[in-house]
Amino acid sequence: MEIKKLLRFMIMGGAILMLLGCNTRNSRAYLEDRIGAEVSRVYPTQNLEDLFEQFPNGFKLYQVYDYKENEHNYLVTVEMDGVKKGDPIRGTLILQDSNSGEKYKTIDVEYHDNEFVFNDEKEALKLWPQQGFLFQKITLNKDFLSTLKLKEKHYNSMNGSFGINYEVNLPEINEYLSFPTSKAIELSFGGSNSNINYYYSVVVEDEEGYYFRETVSD
């Protein structure tokens, strides 16, 4: 009987510790500490080639956002691979249908000597007027995140995914996305324990359904 009681107490104690651990990881402080420490490795980085200091074995850059032309909805994606330090960072700029995924335009892009070069400069400027990534424009870290208005947060103990969302008005992001300076947006960050390597996303959304995501991974 004593052994059964002891086992029962051990099981209950383990369950309580697991719950406490999950609650801690779902706290704002934990998520901002974890996310802030990682995104600050990239935000800001003005020169893409400097990313090799953080990711010496290479990195991938991905950006996708809504694009509207003649009342038709599209997606613009920018994908670039940094393979080896000293070599150009290459990728593509793609215009595709937001529903079918059909690709209408593909523009080659290279980054070297601190500038982007396209095989169709005119069309690239039209589709990607920012001519650069968000991480080249803003600074993100734990201290900054702690000043923002929290909307929601989550940590999934089953699959290890986590994220945190804020309601903000950030002129730097609004300017980057060609929004009105005072526009309110939702700024979100996400990651997962299942990603052994670096993989973090920054998402911007608004009440009208606009969507923007930038992901850096190694």
DSSP letter for each residue of the chain: -HHHHHHHHHHHHHHHHHHHHHHHHTSHHHHHHHHHHHHTTTSS-SSGGGGGGT-TT-EEEEEEEEEEETTEEEEEEEEEEE-STTSPEEEEEEEEETTT--EEEEEEEEEETTEEEESSHHHHHHH-TT-S-GGGT----HHHHTTSEEEEEEE-TTT-EEEEEEEE--HHHHHHTT--TT--EEEEEEEETT-SS-EEEEEEE-TT--EEEEEEE-
Q: What is the pLDDT of residues 94-106, one digit of tens each?
A: 999 998 999 999 9
Of 18-32, 48-62, 71-85, 185-199, the least confident: 18-32
**21, HSE (Cβ side, Cα atoms, 13 Å):** 10
Q: Tell me what pLDDT residue 21 has.
A: 44
Q: Is the pLDDT of residue 22 over 90?
A: no
What are the backbone angles phi and psi of residue 17, rounded to the nearest 5°?
-65, -40
pLDDT of residue 8: 52
**Per-residue pLDDT tens over the stretch 35-85:** 999 999 999 999 999 999 999 999 999 999 999 888 889 999 999 999 999
Nearest to 60 by CA among 211, 213, 195, 199: 199
Under 8 Å between Cβ of 176 and 140: no
Residue 19 clears pLDDT 70, i.e. is over it: no
Kindly report, residue by residue over 160-182, the tens digit of the pLDDT: 899 999 999 999 999 999 999 99
Q: Residue 196: which pLDDT band, with cuts at 50, 70 and 90?
A: confident
**Average pLDDT of span 122-145:** 97
Average pLDDT over residues 136-153: 97
Distance between CA atoms of 81 and 98, rounded to whole angstroms?
Answer: 23
CA atoms within 13 A on the CB side of 178: 10
The answer to whether 205 and 168 are in contact (CB under 8 A) is: no
> What's the confidence (pLDDT) of residue 194?
84
Return d(Cα 91, Cα 107) in angstroms, integer. Answer: 9
- Per the structure block, which two tokens stand in for 136? 């080249």
pLDDT at 1 over 80: no
